[in-house]
Amino acid sequence: MNDAFGRPQSVVVLGGTSEIAGALVDLLVADRCRTLVLAGRDREALTAAAARARSGGAQRVETVVFDAADVAAAAAAVAESFAAAAEGVDLVVVALGLLSESPADASEPSRVVELITANFTWPAAAIGAAAERLRVQGGGRVVVLSSVAAVRARPANFIYGSAKAGLDRFALGLSEALRGSGVLVQVVRPGFVRTKMTRGLRPAPFAVGPEAVAAAVLRGLQRNEPVIWVPPVLRWSFVVLRLLPGPIWRRLAPK
């Protein structure tokens, strides 16, 4: 069960091999989480993440492999993850994503489809399926890793940003639709996060590590915040940044 501070005992992570997911799992298993299901694309990386969770205090860790290119299989991956958790799920973390820093990707349809699928359609299908299961069990939470790029994308990452914008809007809309059901969908909008996905890129202002994102998620769970900005200062920064005229934004946003 989730406790008064939104601390879960049983967690499913879709995209369980991401660095942000790893940092979050570290905090969750050090706290109340005892049952953990890690679902992801890479079996070996999942095994390593599972071992890390066990040594961190999880009593039962299961892994589920899925293919993020196969949207039709998203619901099955969710079903398998819930079955592996066995005793009800308190929190579903949706952390999968695929970054593109090359505007030229837009000219290649298969690459566009790949990016939009991994960042939007697959996660959206999975969130919908997971939220329905939580509704039937009487409550629970979904935390969706979005991005500030969903609010305003840099010229270099607009494909990623457009997919995250879709996912972000989907998650917030679903949360609204589920009001009164006991299911809460929360969106996390980190700024630049230093991970293997962003290695080699020039960090944007207010860059943070995955641990800072994880800590912010725990705070957001405690406070039931619908949108969790990391770091929090970005909430107010983006009030301005989203309205900046193009020429100024182009100068500010790192290529």
Residues in contact with another protein by the rule CB under 8 A:
1-7, 9, 31-32, 79, 82-83, 86-88, 133, 135-140, 180-182, 219, 222-224
Separation CA 255–CA 241 (nearest Å): 16
For the chain, the distance separating the N- and C-terminal CA atoms, rounded to the nearest angstrom, is: 44
Q: Which of 66, 120, 160, 192 is catalytic?
A: 160
Measured from the CB atom, the residue of 45 and 79 that comes closer to another protein is 79
Measured from the CB atom, the residue of 139 and 209 that comes closer to another protein is 139
**Least separation, in Å, of the C-beta of 230 and another protein?**
15
Cα–chain center distance at 168: 10
Q: What phi-psi label fits residue 208: left (phi over 0), alpha (psi between -120 and 50 degrees) or beta?
A: beta
Separation CA 114–CA 249 (nearest Å): 28
Measured from the CB atom, the residue of 181 and 195 that comes closer to another protein is 181
Measured from the CB atom, the residue of 109 and 180 that comes closer to another protein is 180
| Long-range pairs for 50-56: beta carbons < 8 A, 24 or more residues apart | 52/22, 52/25, 52/26, 53/25, 53/26, 53/29, 56/25, 56/26, 56/29, 56/30
**Least separation, in Å, of the C-beta of 134 and another protein?**
9
**Least separation, in Å, of the C-beta of 175 and another protein?**
14
Indicate if 161 belongs to the active site. no
Q: Which residues are catalytic?
A: 160
